[in-house]
Chains A and B, each alone.
Chain A
Amino acid sequence: MSSDTNSAKSNKNNTLANNNTTVKKLLLVVLAMFGFGFLLVPLYDVFCDITGLNGKTSNTAASYNTTGIDSSRTVKVQFITRNAKGIPWQFEPVINEINVHPGEMKVVSFYAKNNASYDITGQAVPSVSPGLAANYFHKIECFCFTQQPLTAGSDVEMGLQFYVDIELPSDINTLTLSYTLYDISEKSS
């Protein structure tokens, strides 16, 4: 009986050691997956940059660099604007849409007026729909590259210089460029 108990005890000790090893391995998996959750953030950005999945356009100015103008094709570019919660600006495109040939450079402008009685710094965030067209929409100059400080009551006309890539997939005939305007006074000060 006692030798039985001893062998049972050593079996139990083996089990305990095995348990500890397994627990450590599983805890590593837990930690790794917690990290993976955060890793998804840069991965998502890279993925979207490459594929243009979420309609994000480049944050830096492109240079005008085209192999020609495809005048046989006309693409309609629409402009829409939207104010995020809590920014009392008037913000709208001067023209709502424009027809362009791929490769052709165009300049349009947007109007903004600070209706508040205090200074506000705004930031417009662009997005292109359909998302896959984002990589074919090149901005040479855009007010969205910089912050827009407006003193109380003042207004400004802001320019956007762009061209649509000649490689734009042929099934896309209309692009919508949407700007959402955020109040970033707190974050910029």
Chain B
Amino acid sequence: MTTDTLNNTSTADIEVAVNQGDNSGNHDHKMTGIKRWLYTTNHKDIGTLYLWFAFIMLLTGGALAMVIRAELFQPGLQLVEPDFFNQLTTVHGLVMVFGAIMPAFTGFANWMLPMMLGAPDMALPRMNNWSFWILPFAFAILLGSFFMESGAPNFGWTFYAPLSTTYSNGSTAFFGFAVHIMGISSIMGAINIVVTIMNMRAPGMTYMKMPLFVWTFFITAYLLIVVMPVLAGVVTMILTDTYFGTSFFDAAGGGDPVMFQHIFWFFGHPEVYIMILPAFGIISTTIPAFSRKKLFGYSSMVYATSSIALLSFLVWAHHMFTTGMPLFGELFFMYCTMLIAVPTGVKIFNWVATMWRGSLSFETPMLFSIAFVILFTIGGFSGLMLAMTPVDFQYHDTYFVVAHFHYVLVTGSLFSLYAGAYFWLPKWTGHMYNDTLSKWHFWCSLISVNLLFFPMHFLGLAGMPRRIPDYALQFADFNKWVSIGGFAFGLSQLIFLAVVIKCIRGGEKALAKPWDGAVGLEWTVASPAPYHTFSAPPSQQDIDKQHEN
């Protein structure tokens, strides 16, 4: 008898206790059709919903970016009006940050955390359902504003006052409510993650035996709980400034627009780590698996992640070097920012050391992971350049900044998501993905993403400002190449869609553990993972075995 059939026999009894107050009784029976997805409290279903939602948002935000790149293909105004161009950049940023990257990571958390911890489900399954299902409404409001008389938000995803207050095109209310809902969703998701990790670990799973994946989500969830309410606060201030006559950011009434930037970036800088720490967790899972070695420096990884999280609260003003800060302020934020390179470097070197003299193989998840390590490091280095106050005066608000944050968010966060998706697709679907097609996805993405973002460094250094629909003639050639890279990268993501659909529909049957070097409790259950796993907790030997390997 396998572990899985054992799990299933005792499922019905225990599930009643888990979902107290749920009267439907037999939980092995899934509802059918749309109701299964609307009413589901199953962590795997909700994880699937999050992942599909995130992918749809990735394509939506990508489509907006395609229009941006089409307009920038050559100098002059061809396709869109400048005001609409601003709406495109704004909504592109919001959709990618709050619609694609963050929900995708929440999807991974939902799918994997209970299985990695040996828990039957997330701690708060009903809240889990709620935190997902409010998201489509938030984005319906945000994207719907394109079709309103006022148009969509056009003040940048950072919604600096007074652009979003005094000079708002009337979309501030739509924007504000949408972001409030996204924030509530994130906070609920984060509370769920923290409670799950603190209380639902299988007996014998101590904190330092948790996979690093779990650690990074734990720390990220704490960051979310601490900073998302600050975002909610600043959005509220923007709303009252615009519609109820307060003067938080209005100098005429005694407020200060620069204060907006302080409060926003107090949220905003931890936010960028919210989008990269889970990526570190995924990469720390895939690289050991395909190097067939234990992760190098597990505990140093835990401490490095924590220090990055703590330092993220001390660096927010490096986004504001050009606002006229006094010298000691600029020095403080410059040094603190550079300090973050130390724990980040610890991580990079640990990954390299994990690969060192490992028995490497280059399956698609590993290809994405190695690309992540190299390209994220490029993004990290351009971040260090931006951290230097004197040169930041030159780079500020240029395409160099655009290149920097796309290297860390696309070849960083998004590539890690792909690595994780290919790594766990066999577990999710029960089938192996089409290897040839996935390699096409990787190589097309890798080549086009560099064509897309690398020349942006030079454009920025040469002085091309960001968020402009038109540019000086000397930038024309590079912009043409960037646009071609952009279209190619956008189309390459459709290959991923094809891979996933093919993988769900069929393909080579996946073993319970399709990767010989993989460790983790999720590989001790069958593929596809049964609807309910770990209704009975895993044995101590199983837990210890995952940690020792």
Which residues of A127-177 are within 8 A (CB) of B?
127, 129-132
Interface on chain B toward A: helix, strand, loop, or mixed SS? helix
Residues of chain B within 8 A of A38, CB atoms compared: 233, 237
Which residues of A174-188 are within 8 A (CB) of B?
180, 182-184, 187
Min C-beta distance of B15 to chain A, whole Å: 10
Residues of chain B within 8 A of A76, CB atoms compared: none
Asked whether B33 is an interface residue with its Cβ less than 8 Å from the other chain, the reply is no
Which residues of A33-67 are within 8 A (CB) of B?
33-38, 40-41, 44, 48, 51, 53-56
Asked whether B542 is an interface residue with its Cβ less than 8 Å from the other chain, the reply is no
Taken together as a complex, chains A and B put the C-alpha atoms of A5 and B194 apart, in Å, by 27
Which residues of B322-370 are within 8 A (CB) of A?
324-326, 329
Taken together as a complex, chains A and B put the C-alpha atoms of A132 and B167 apart, in Å, by 29
Taken together as a complex, chains A and B put the C-alpha atoms of A29 and B245 apart, in Å, by 29
Contact with B along A1-15 (1 / 0, CB 8 A): 000010011001101
Taken together as a complex, chains A and B put the C-alpha atoms of A79 and B176 apart, in Å, by 38
Question: CB distance B259 to A19 under 8 Å?
Answer: no
Question: CB distance B17 to A34 under 8 Å?
Answer: no
Pick from B20, B187, B258: contact of A54, CB under 8 Å: B258
Min C-beta distance of A174 to chain B, whole Å: 14
Asked whether B425 is an interface residue with its Cβ less than 8 Å from the other chain, the reply is no
Asked whether B191 is an interface residue with its Cβ less than 8 Å from the other chain, the reply is yes
Question: CB distance B259 to A41 under 8 Å?
Answer: yes
Residues of chain B within 8 A of A33, CB atoms compared: 225-230
Min C-beta distance of A179 to chain B, whole Å: 11
Q: A56-B256, A187-B253 are in contact. Are A37 and B229 (CB under 8 A)?
A: yes
Taken together as a complex, chains A and B put the C-alpha atoms of A19 and B120 apart, in Å, by 14
Question: CB distance B256 to A54 under 8 Å?
Answer: yes
Question: CB distance A36 to B256 under 8 Å?
Answer: no
Asked whether B300 is an interface residue with its Cβ less than 8 Å from the other chain, the reply is no
Question: CB distance B195 to A26 under 8 Å?
Answer: yes
Q: Which residue of chain B is the closest to A129 with respect to CB atoms?
A: B324
Which residues of B192-225 are within 8 A (CB) of A?
194-195, 198-200, 225
Q: How large is the interface on A (under 10, 10 to 19, 20 to 34, 35 or more residues)?
A: 35 or more
Q: A125-B252, A182-B252, A187-B245 are in contact. Are A19 and B233 (CB under 8 A)?
A: no
Q: Which residue of chain B is the closest to A29 with respect to CB atoms?
A: B225
Min C-beta distance of A115 to chain B, whole Å: 19
Q: Which residue of chain B is the closest to A122 with respect to CB atoms?
A: B252
Question: CB distance B230 to A37 under 8 Å?
Answer: yes
Taken together as a complex, chains A and B put the C-alpha atoms of A8 and B120 apart, in Å, by 12
Taken together as a complex, chains A and B put the C-alpha atoms of A30 and B252 apart, in Å, by 32
Taken together as a complex, chains A and B put the C-alpha atoms of A15 and B198 apart, in Å, by 10
Min C-beta distance of A9 to chain B, whole Å: 5
Asked whether B500 is an interface residue with its Cβ less than 8 Å from the other chain, the reply is no
Question: CB distance A27 to B191 under 8 Å?
Answer: yes
Question: CB distance A8 to B199 under 8 Å?
Answer: no
Asked whether A90 is an interface residue with its Cβ less than 8 Å from the other chain, the reply is no
Q: A19-B124, A184-B252 are in contact. Are A37 and B232 (CB under 8 A)?
A: yes
Question: CB distance A9 to B124 under 8 Å?
Answer: no
Q: A27-B191, A37-B263 are in contact. Are A15 and B200 (CB under 8 A)?
A: yes
Taken together as a complex, chains A and B put the C-alpha atoms of A67 and B484 apart, in Å, by 69
Taken together as a complex, chains A and B put the C-alpha atoms of A147 and B200 apart, in Å, by 62
Taken together as a complex, chains A and B put the C-alpha atoms of A127 and B228 apart, in Å, by 32
Question: CB distance B324 to A55 under 8 Å?
Answer: yes
Q: Which residue of chain A is the closest to B14 with respect to CB atoms?
A: A8
Asked whether B471 is an interface residue with its Cβ less than 8 Å from the other chain, the reply is no
Q: A5-B13, A22-B198 are in contact. Are A41 and B266 (CB under 8 A)?
A: no
Asked whether B166 is an interface residue with its Cβ less than 8 Å from the other chain, the reply is yes
Q: A5-B10, A13-B17, A22-B198 are in contact. Are A29 and B226 (CB under 8 A)?
A: yes
Asked whether B18 is an interface residue with its Cβ less than 8 Å from the other chain, the reply is yes
Question: CB distance B191 to A26 under 8 Å?
Answer: yes
Residues of chain A within 8 A of B200, CB atoms compared: 15
Asked whether A107 is an interface residue with its Cβ less than 8 Å from the other chain, the reply is no
Asked whether B248 is an interface residue with its Cβ less than 8 Å from the other chain, the reply is yes
Taken together as a complex, chains A and B put the C-alpha atoms of A131 and B324 apart, in Å, by 8
Asked whether A74 is an interface residue with its Cβ less than 8 Å from the other chain, the reply is no
**Cross-chain pairs A/B with CB under 8 angstroms, 8 sampled:** A12-B18, A15-B123, A15-B200, A19-B195, A40-B263, A54-B256, A130-B326, A187-B245
**6 closest Cβ contacts across the A-B interface?**
A37-B233, A182-B252, A33-B229, A34-B229, A12-B17, A37-B230
Given contacts A15-B123, A15-B200, A30-B229, 17 further A-B contacts (CB under 8 A): A5-B10, A8-B13, A12-B14, A16-B20, A22-B123, A22-B198, A30-B187, A37-B237, A40-B262, A40-B263, A41-B259, A44-B259, A53-B329, A54-B258, A55-B324, A84-B251, A182-B252
